[in-house]
Structure 1
Amino acid sequence: MTQEPEPSRAPADQDQATHLHVLAERIHHAADDLSTPPTGHPLASTSEEIEDQIRAVTGIFAALAGEAAFHGRAAERHPGTANLLAHRKIALLTRAADPLGRALAHLGQAVAQIGRLHEISAGPRTPEQAQALRAARTVLTDQLRDAYLYLSDAAGSLHRDADQLITTVLGTQRAPTAPSTGRAPLSPTPPVPTTGAPTATRTLR
């Protein structure tokens, strides 16, 4: 019995790479939606905005973890070419989990600063209170900035890895390009450090 030739991996690899680009864009949009609360901005409004961002990032994190689990099951059930593709995608997806998790941690610290601001605001109006409020708002801004940097790092990494998913396997096959967003291209980002947020090429608005 003649064995049928194995189908080309190119379409499957392109589909998987495109999916990574789409996930990266979701992370980019979450980063773009982060903003520094202006001076005098109501705490209730700031708290609601941060809550929305935590929901968005948590949803992305859950989607990433779900995708990794799905492809892990596929790798066990369907050995062969599909197995190799699943392993590659799992590796690329989970590399984004670390900066994404760090972004969530900084958003959690931002929530803690909201509580601190409420606590300070409940006290008497004194020069010391004004100074404490400024300090707490500075910490809040720093936490939001660091969350933004880690989100940008995760998205940029996924975009690069999606391109490599094709170029590494097929060599001459051109990787699919990321959806056009009008952004300046990100410069290469070093590995996520153990301390301090990564450096981003865009500015938190």
Structure 2
Amino acid sequence: MSNAVRFSMLALAVSSLYSPLVWSQADENDLEVIEIKYRQAYRGDTPMAEIPQAITVLDRTLIEDVQLSRFRNILTFDPSIALQNDGGNLWDSYSLRGFPGNENVPTGYLVNGFAAGRGFGGYRDSSNIELVEVLKGPGSALYGRSDPGGIINVVTKKPQYATEGYLQTTVGTDDRYRLEGYYTSAVNDAVAITTLRICQHALN
């Protein structure tokens, strides 16, 4: 065998050793690139202007100006809410955008951002309510409510470090009498307390 033939056979053998590496490198360059995107839900004190959903806030000013003593009466000031059968004056029942809501359901509504269903509860009084937030649409799923109508969040009064309080009476029709007392003050620089007492009688 001549030197030329031996050289050709050697070159072929060497090239065959490197060819898998070349093909492997080509395969790596042809791999599909998968881009991963995600969205994260945020729960916190967010300005309403930055929330991309329809929200109605019914605040304490409205409650006091119109003298609303029940939670269900506050809800009537949102046009997307309609009061429903209350089981014979047993509990607050409503529908939000046509979908029923019931405070006896664990996720029926929220208090300070947490599920407030009490299994069975009577009427909720408005005296300890600072404001009511009505979140409309399927975003309610973020808070454990599957109804696409939305969800309601009740924000309660917070203790104040400045000493304040009141005592007021109300007399109305249907033999209605109401006595309400509220007091809040600071225990020290880090702790504040509040107390609220209500006595009411009414035929309806």
User: As a proportion of its length, which structure holds more strand?
Assistant: 2
TM range (shorter): under 0.3
* TM-score for both structures, normalised by structure 1: 0.23
Larger gyration radius, structure 1 or structure 2: 2
Task: Report 1 or 2 for greater relative contact order, CA contacts < 8 Å, sequence distance ≥ 6.
Answer: 1
* TM-score for both structures, normalised by structure 2: 0.23
User: As a proportion of its length, which structure holds more helix?
Assistant: 1
